[in-house]
Structures are given as structure tokens and as C-alpha cells.
Amino acid sequence: MSIQNFIPAVWAGKILGNLQKDFVYVDACNRDYEGEITAYGDQVKINSIGAITVKSYTKNTDIDAPQDLTGSQTVLLINQGDYFNFQVDDVDKAQTNPKVMDQAMVEAPVALANNTDNYVAGLYVNFTNDLGNIEITTVEKAYDILVDMAQKLDEANVPQAGRSVIVTPAFRSLLRKDKRFTDLSASGQAVLQNGVIGNVSGMQVRYSNNVPVATVALVDYSYITAMYRGTISFADQIVSVEAFRPESRFGDAIKGLHVYGAKVVRLNTGVFAGISINLV
């Protein structure tokens, strides 16, 4: 690929599109407020209204005066940034597949998505609801924990739509050994055939290698989380992609900058549990 044929806008669009395919934690967030992000340090303002009061109606009786709505504004700061910067030497281009640069541009979004997901994963342990640290000693216990997490969401009046739970690959393996999860007729999720996603108690099941881990009394606990789409707001943008010829090298190079930010906006709408697997 020559510099002359490089179109930054096209590459930026391709990178951002490929990012979406690799998000797990980010994909469970609310992304309605992304707006026009142009640089690191931008702000996204999130407006919300207070609770609506509902009153009993009595026939032939005047109703109360209209309620004055109250509002609040939360600022989501775009304060995170990751970049890539790689080159292909002219000699390598002559001796290898000429599409090596294209392949590198496919791999770049994978690496960016992993960094971003890892950052957002760290926000989920700030939830006010939790089930504590739990040792899983039977296969069935994994499924039961998810049912308990869904109950916690119900008790917190969390909306049913858009619920997700994110687990580790090891936890996911336990679910796949439980007929309650794998029985398509019980789950109602035909996509379970590829083993990527399922449904437990109204929560879409996802898995990630970025699940936070903490060590307590020499035991590692993975903090799986359940939430709904409005719990965390996220916004991102590929703000710059540039092709250039490094001054001290003979080769083509590409660098790109991905900026993003995330914030827990509804703290009581998520629940987490520390999980240690020790089958007996």
C-alpha cells in the first residue's frame, strides 16, 4: 500500500467499525450520548429528569397542579486514549504479501478494543449491590448464581430490557455443562448453537477475558457483573489516522488515535459477585 493511495477517512471508518465487533463490556453500555467527539478531553453532557409522581384519580374531583419536573446533568469526560503506530519496511513489502499493511489494520482494532474493554470492565466493580465472594463447588452453582443476580436486579427495579451479565470463559464452560443453559427449548435462544451467547433469567450472557480479578486470603476471585444498558454510558471516536514515511526508515507507517470515556451513571442498577471455581 502506498501513501498516495491512503485515505484516512476510509481507514478511520473501517477501524471504528471493526472495534464494534470486538467489544464485550462496551457493548453492554449505553452509547446514545456519543455525539460529535473530535478530541481527547471533549465532554459529553448527559441530561436526565427526576421521578414522575403518579397519583390516584377520583371521579368528579379536581386533580392537583402539574408537577414541576426536576433535572440533572452528568458530564462524561473523554479522558482515555490509546494509539497504534507501526511500519512496514520497503524490503519486507517487496518480499512478502503486499497486503500485510491491510492485515495490520485489521489487527489494530482488536488490540484497541481489548484495551478499551479492560478499562470499562474496571468500572463495574463500583456497583452498590453485590453477592459477596462465592466459591463454586458444583456445575449447577454457576447457573444458580446468575438467577440470584437477576433477582437482585429485580429487587432494585432495574428495567428488564437490555440486561446483560458478563462472565469468564471458565464460568461460561460451567454453564455449557448445565442443561438449563444449553437446552434451546428452555432458553429460547437458538444462537446458543454457536456457544457465544445465551440467556439466563432475562439476562444476555456474554464472556470476556477482561473480567476483573482480586485476591482475597490467597484466593483469586473473578468479579462477574450484571447490569442493564443504562448503567454505564460510553462514548468513543477514532479522531486521527495518519500515514507517513518515517524520516529515518525506508518504509510506510500508519498511526491512529482512539479516544473514549465511560462513567457509571446509575450506580444501583448493577450487581456483581466474586467467583472462585473449585469443583469437588
* pLDDT, tens digit (0-9, with 9 covering 90-100), for 86-108: 888 776 665 555 567 777 777 88
How would residue 41 be classed by pLDDT, with cut points 50, 70 and 90? confident
pLDDT of the residue at 5: 52
Span of 77-81, 142-146, 234-238, 250-254 with lowest mean pLDDT? 250-254
CA dist 143 and 177 (Å) reads: 10
Query: What value does the CA radius of gyration of the chain take, rounded to a whole number of Å?
Result: 23
CA dist 250 and 22 (Å) reads: 33
Residues 43, 100 within the same domain: yes
Say which CATH number the domain at 203 has.
3.30.2320
Residues 215, 251 within the same domain: no
CB contact set of 154 (below 8 Å; sequence gap of 6+): none
pLDDT of the residue at 114: 92
Residues 117, 139 within the same domain: no
pLDDT of the residue at 192: 44
Residues 96, 161 within the same domain: no
pLDDT of the residue at 244: 87
CA dist 107 and 101 (Å) reads: 10
Contacts for 103-112: CB closer than 8 Å, 24+ residues apart: 104/254, 105/11, 105/14, 105/15, 105/254, 106/18, 108/15, 108/84, 108/256, 109/15, 109/16, 109/18, 109/19, 109/21, 109/22, 110/18, 110/22, 111/84, 112/15, 112/19, 112/82, 112/84, 112/258
Return mean pLDDT, the chain.
82
pLDDT of the residue at 94: 57
CA dist 248 and 108 (Å) reads: 23
Q: Which three cell numbers stand for residue 148?
A: 440470584
Q: Which residue has the higher pLDDT, 49 or 163?
A: 163
Span of 10-14, 129-133, 160-164 with lowest mean pLDDT? 10-14
The predicted model gives 248-268 an average pLDDT of 87
pLDDT of the residue at 91: 65
Identity (one letter) of the amino acid at 116?
A: T
Residues 59, 94 within the same domain: yes
CA dist 80 and 35 (Å) reads: 17
Residues 182, 245 within the same domain: no
User: In this structure, are strands 251-264 and 232-244 parallel, antiparallel, or unpaired?
Assistant: antiparallel
Q: Which three cell numbers stand for residue 9?
A: 477517512
The total of structural domains in the chain comes to 2
pLDDT of the residue at 45: 79
pLDDT by residue (tens digit) across 196-231? 468 899 999 999 999 999 999 999 999 999 999 989
C-alpha dihedral sign at 136, 142, 144, 148 = positive
Residues 273, 255 within the same domain: no
Residues 105, 222 within the same domain: no
Say which CATH number the domain at 44 has.
3.30.2400
Residues 158, 272 within the same domain: yes
With H, G, I as helix, E, B as strand and everything else as coil, classify residue 10: helix
Structural domain that includes position 117: 3-121+235-262
How would residue 267 be classed by pLDDT, with cut points 50, 70 and 90? confident
Report percent pLDDT > 90 for the chain.
39
The predicted model gives 22-40 an average pLDDT of 82
Residues 33, 102 within the same domain: yes
Residues 24, 111 within the same domain: yes
Span of 117-121, 124-128, 175-179, 236-240 with lowest mean pLDDT? 124-128
Is the pLDDT score of 185 beyond 50? no
Residues 97, 208 within the same domain: no
Q: How far is CA 279 from CA 105, 141, 148, 211, in A?
A: 42, 10, 20, 20
pLDDT of the residue at 90: 73
